[in-house]
Chain A
Amino acid sequence: MEQVVNGVLVVNTETIPGKKITETLGVVSGSTVRAKHVGKDIFALFKNIVGGELTQYTELLQEARQDAVARMVADAMTLDATAVVNVRFATSAITAGAAELFAYGTAVKYE
C-alpha cells in the first residue's frame, strides 16, 4: 500500500490528480506466474468443500500482484519515468492453483 514504489508514482487514473503530465514514454508492463506449495493447495481443496474465502489463494494473488507491479515499475525506471498512469490488471488461470498476473500502464513524466 505504498503511494510511491521505488520513487515512481503509480495511479490508475488517466491523469495524475493535481499534477501535470509533460511527456508520455510508452507502455510498460510486468507479469508473473506464482503458485503455492502442495500443502496449501490441499488445505484449500478441503476448505473449498465447506465454502467461503480461500485465504491461501487470496495471499497468493496478493503476492503475485505486488510482484507484477514491482516489475512494471522496474520497467518504467529503465525509461526514466517518474510515474505510471492508467494502470490495468489482467489475471489468467493456467492450471488449478497457479495464477498469472499481468499489470500494464503508461509511463509518463510529470511536473
Chain B
Amino acid sequence: MELPSNTSERGLSMAIEFEIYYILFILVAPFLIFSLIWTIFGLSYPFVFVWGMIASGKNIENMVEDVNRRESETRKLRGKDPLSTIDGGYRHNVSDSGLVYASGVFGPSHWHLLIGWFNNLFGGSITIFQKVISTGRAEVMQRLRENAIAAGWDDVINVRIDTADMTPQSSKKGVKGVEVFAYGTGIKYSD
C-alpha cells in the first residue's frame, strides 16, 4: 500500500517542479529575447548610423528622380495631370465614380534628425525635413495616380492630402515618421 502512494507522491512533486520551471521559463524568456535584441540593436547602431549618414542623402535624390520620371510618364500617357482638388461640379458626362486612396510612411534618417536638431538651434527653415516630407508627398500623389489608372478611372476629383504623425507626441521612443495619405474620387466619363 505504501509503495504506490510514495511513487505517486514523488511523481506529483516532480510534476510540480517541472511546472515551476516551465512557468519560470515562460516568464523570463520574453525578457531574455528582448534584452538580446536590444543588445544586438545597440551594438549595430553605430554602423547602421554611419551607413545611413553616407546613404540617406543619395537615397532621397534617387527617390526624387524616380518620382519625377514616373510622373512625367503619367503625364505623357494622359496628356495632363489626372488629379484635381475641385469637386466635379462642371462635369456632366460622368458615368461611374468611386473612392481611390494611396498612402506611405516616411521618416528622416537619424543623421538627418541630428542635422535638423542643429538647424533648429539657429532657427529658420529646416530644409532637410522639408525635403524628406515633400518627397514622400510627391511619391504618395504619384501612387494615387497609378492606383487610379490601374483601377480604370479617367480622372480623380476632390483630392485631399492628409499628414499624420506615426509616433504620439508624448513618447520619446519608437519610429520617427510621418504618414502621408492622399484620397479622392475616381470618375469615368461616359463619352
A and B assemble together: yes
The reply to whether B185 and A93 contact each other, CB–CB distance below 8 Å, is no
Chain A residue at minimal CB-CB distance from B111: A51
B168 to chain A: closest CB distance in Å?
4
Stretch touching chain A among B5-13, B18-26, B118-126, B154-162: B154-162
Interface residues of B, dominant DSSP: mixed
Measured between beta carbons, the chain A residues less than 8 angstroms from B151 are 1-3
The interface on chain B, measured as residues whose beta carbon lies within 8 A of the other chain's beta carbons, has a size of: 65
Interface residues of A, dominant DSSP: mixed
The reply to whether A49 and B49 contact each other, CB–CB distance below 8 Å, is yes
The reply to whether B105 and A57 contact each other, CB–CB distance below 8 Å, is yes
- Tell me if B51 is interfacial: C-beta within 8 Å of chain A: yes
Query: Which of A9, A48, A65 has the most C-beta atoms of chain B within 10 angstroms of its own C-beta?
Result: A48
The reply to whether B98 and A4 contact each other, CB–CB distance below 8 Å, is yes
The reply to whether A53 and B136 contact each other, CB–CB distance below 8 Å, is yes
The reply to whether B59 and A51 contact each other, CB–CB distance below 8 Å, is yes
The reply to whether B174 and A11 contact each other, CB–CB distance below 8 Å, is no
The reply to whether B171 and A95 contact each other, CB–CB distance below 8 Å, is yes
